[in-house]
A = this chain, B = another copy of it.
Amino acid sequence: MRQSQLFTKTRKEAPKDEVAISAQLLTRAGFVHKDLAGAYTYLPLGQRVLDKIVSVIREEMVAIGGQEVTLSILQDPELWKKTDRWDDARLDVWFKSKLKNDQDVGLATTNEESIAAMMTDHIDSYRDLPRYVFQIQKKFRNELRARSGLLRAREFLMKDLYSFSKNDAELDIFYEQAKDAYHEIFRRVGLDDDTFLTFASGGTFSKYSHEFQTVCPAGEDTIYLSRAKNIAINKEVYTDQVLTELGLKKSELEEVSAIEVGNIFKLGTKYSEPLGLTFLDEQGKRRPVVMGSYGIGPGRVMATVVEKFHDEHGMIWPESIAPFRVHLLALKMDDREVKSQADELSATLQQKGIETLYDDRDVSAGTKFAEADLIGIPWRVVVSAKTLTKKKVEVKHRMTGQTEDLTPAAWLKRLSA
């Protein structure tokens, strides 16, 4: 894409009301726009990153048997009354509204109730189980405060998968597969080194839930971490009893701040019982379906990647989710030779299917360099009068900072390697 066509502009100063470094950088670089506290527009560069994160998540959910749907955002209160979660005293993040006939509706904070109700049409026998159903869609949570930018939004994209099993043993098998899939997702987006399976509070039907927590100063959660054992405990369940159960000692755990990037939960029959989601087992006996839920917020993942990978100049995207793979900078577009070589290289990259942002604008070299660092595309390639005399291009790798002069052919070969 030609940067002269990209409609967004960067800005030098971060908005004063943004505390989180991720929100500051994403706003400055024109990836997002704050519409109101906790609600962000994704602009083209941010949309591209989000789409890539979503693709990774979708692929891994399909790989473990997930079938994609899109559930309604508008929620029928009757379903939530059955599970006693309609009352604001029970669930305090509702956005509620009314139909014209004065009937209440809510905006989905999560979808256990509506998917359990919907599945009653499609599950009747043990032969219909197990099933795994997911969606990637916006959720709404009326947070009292929304100060962490995209890390805790009121309106946000979420992948939520729900599993439906015959019994606990069948749920356990999938739960372990989901854990592996989550690790694979965080590996692919570049977060796995600092992301840990974390024991968190369970519910009526399970002692613990599991979070995936990424160690990061900006995190709102506190966890107790053993890097050696690759495990952590959320502060909310950090007790002597839990330590004993998990075979951990206080001395081997460090207290760190972390961002919850994923959450998986054994729901048991908490939702299926009140909503009447049952099946006939092999003995002809009707039993409630055993459920699990598995969430990841792609926007929060994006913000977490920025929190982890940036420097004083800007963001540093992993190749897997970068908005473009290559940022091609032509210094002085009015130099005919420069324009000609840059155009040619741009055409070659397009032909090879290498996603490129081509800075063809008539602005100073300093502006181009500063914006390239801010936007943080993995490979910055400069074509200028200076590089032309050497018959090379200047290649800078944003992550390592390493700069080299290479012939276009040598660099393209390296890119394809």
Contact = CB atoms under 8 A, between A and B. Distances in A.
B41 A72 contact: yes
A224 to B, nearest CB: 31
Contacts of A8: 122
30 contacts: A5-B65, A7-B122, A7-B123, A9-B122, A9-B124, A11-B121, A35-B72, A35-B74, A35-B75, A35-B118, A36-B76, A36-B105, A38-B74, A39-B72, A39-B73, A41-B69, A41-B70, A41-B71, A43-B69, A44-B67, A47-B68, A50-B70, A73-B140, A74-B140, A95-B97, A95-B105, A97-B142, A100-B142, A100-B143, A138-B138
Interface string A117-156: 0110111100010010100001010111000000000110
Interface string A40-83: 11111001001000000000000001011111111110000000
Interface string A99-127: 11000010100000010001101111000
Interface of A: 5-9, 11, 30, 33, 35-36, 38-44, 47, 50, 65, 67-76, 95-100, 105, 107, 114, 118-119, 121-124, 128, 131, 133, 138, 140, 142-144, 154-155
A275 to B, nearest CB: 13
Nearest to A38: B74
Nearest to A101: B144
A103 to B, nearest CB: 8
Given A36-B76, A47-B68, 6 more contacts: A33-B118, A36-B72, A40-B72, A42-B70, A72-B155, A73-B155
A70 B6 CA distance: 15
B72 A7 contact: no
Contacts of A39: 72-74
A122 B5 CA distance: 12
Nearest to A27: B121
Contacts of A119: 7
B96 A35 contact: no
Chain B CB within 10 Å — which of A6, A95, A118 has the most? A95
A41 B119 CA distance: 11
A94 to B, nearest CB: 9
B97 A70 contact: no
Contacts of A154: 74, 99
B155 A41 contact: no
Given A35-B118, A142-B100, A128 B7 contact: yes
A206 to B, nearest CB: 24
* The 5 nearest A-B residue pairs measured at CB: A35-B72, A39-B72, A39-B74, A42-B70, A95-B97
Contacts of A69: 41-44, 47
Contacts of A68: 44, 47
A74 B155 contact: yes
A213 to B, nearest CB: 26
Nearest to A129: B7
A107 B74 CA distance: 11
Contact of A97 (B11, B96, B128, B133): B96
